[in-house]
């Protein structure tokens, strides 16, 4: 802890040397940091690989953080801002199905990648780090790799209201969810393929418990849900208030491996979240789910393409935004 404190003080001192902003392009570029931070990708990849080796759940947390960041005010690392609205955790909607990421993951991304700040102080934006980390999280969980254009800058504000309004909820009908994707420039295929991120990670019981005991206020379980899956989930999430925050894997077959089993489970009526299982209730989305359940390579290819589209939502470039010295706090000066 003393070393980290000293290191951050040293980095902060170096940052003060950069009174004027460095030249930055107004467009994202695959070679954006080639001169200023040539080992960026390797440093982030090693940090993510090490973190996942210690706790496999980190992969899903990084992927969710990137998704939720981009969906609110654009990919600007606003999800990491907490002191602006006097919160103690990253901004997550009240209906967010997944558990909040651990504090040590989000305290400051620069702390998570100490070699990065040592090699390239005050150079890489928090949002570019998060974008690269999400890509690496998928790759080190057995999923695809896709190249990432860089040069994003960090936002100056954050809003819990925007998070509640803009992010899809596990309780919403499919048309509402796809409308929220469309509002961000993402089409129906993007909505389906990006839902495949639920192949890793966990959800809290309160987000699906009505399916197990009182679906649609019927006093009965969801008739669509596979009976074997229902029985297992009722054991994990009994019908009592103290089970609300218990966790169940979104994909119980391979919960830490990025693969297409999520789609196979939807086809078999074993999707955990109602919002996910609804994809099988529409002919347009059901045909995509079936294709992804059969062809893992197709899913991997389309997932990477949709992630690239998502990572370009509302980005700040050029002189807009800033490069935060601490990912949880806006810089005191403009840059």
Q: Report the distance separating Cα 253 and Cα 188, nearest Å.
A: 26
Q: Report the distance separating Cα 110 and Cα 122, nearest Å.
A: 10
Determine contact, residues 49/140, Cβ cutoff 8 Å: yes
Determine contact, residues 76/155, Cβ cutoff 8 Å: yes
What does the angle CA 136 – CA 138 – CA 139 come to, to the nearest 5 degrees? 60
Determine contact, residues 62/134, Cβ cutoff 8 Å: yes
Catalytic residue among 66, 68, 96, 198: 68
Which of 244, 243, 293 minimizes the C-alpha distance to 265? Answer: 293
Kindly report the number of other CB atoms within 10 A of residue 84's CB atom: 15
Kindly report the number of other CB atoms within 10 A of residue 15's CB atom: 20
17-55: b or e for each residue (b if 16 or more CB lie within 10 Å)?
eeeeeeebeeebeeebbeeebeebbebbbebbeebbeee
Q: What is the DSSP letter of 248?
A: E
Determine contact, residues 291/193, Cβ cutoff 8 Å: no
Q: Report the distance separating Cα 13 and Cα 161, nearest Å.
A: 35
Active site residue 96: no
Task: Please list the active-site residues.
Answer: 68
């Amino acid at each position: 802890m003393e070393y980290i404190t000293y290191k951050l003080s040293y980095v902060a001192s170096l940052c003060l040397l950069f009174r004027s902003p460095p030249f930055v392009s107004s467009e994202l570029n695959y070679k954006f940091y080639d001169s200023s931070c040539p080992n960026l990708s390797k440093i982030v990849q090693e940090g993510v690989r090490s973190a996942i080796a210690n706790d496999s759940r980190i992969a899903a947390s990084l992927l969710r953080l990137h998704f939720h960041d981009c969906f609110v005010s654009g990919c600007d690392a606003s999800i990491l801002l907490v002191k602006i609205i006097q919160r103690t955790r990253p901004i997550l909607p009240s209906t967010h199905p997944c558990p909040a990421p651990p504090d040590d993951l989000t305290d400051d991304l620069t702390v998570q990648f100490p070699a990065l700040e040592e090699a390239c102080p005050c150079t890489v934006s928090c949002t570019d780090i998060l974008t690269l980390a999400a890509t690496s999280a998928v790759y080190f969980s057995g999923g695809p790799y896709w190249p990432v254009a860089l040069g994003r800058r960090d936002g100056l504000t954050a809003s819990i209201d925007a998070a509640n309004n803009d992010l899809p909820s596990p309780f919403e009908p499919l048309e509402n969810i796809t409308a929220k994707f469309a509002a961000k420039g993402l089409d129906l295929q993007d909505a389906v393929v990006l839902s495949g991120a639920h192949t890793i990670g966990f959800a809290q019981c309160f987000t699906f418990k009505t399916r197990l005991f009182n679906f649609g206020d019927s006093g009965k379980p969801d008739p669509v849900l596979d009976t074997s899956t229902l029985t297992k989930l009722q054991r994990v999430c009994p019908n009592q208030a103290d089970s609300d925050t218990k966790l169940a894997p979104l994909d119980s077959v391979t919960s830490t491996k990025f693969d297409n089993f999520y789609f196979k489970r939807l086809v078999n009526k074993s999707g955990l979240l109602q919002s996910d299982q609804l994809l099988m209730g529409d002919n347009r989305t059901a045909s995509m789910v079936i294709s992804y359940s059969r062809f893992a390579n197709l899913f991997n290819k389309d997932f990477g393409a949709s992630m690239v589209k998502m990572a370009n939502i509302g980005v700040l470039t050029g002189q807009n935004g800033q490069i935060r010295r601490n990912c949880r706090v806006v810089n005191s000066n403009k840059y």
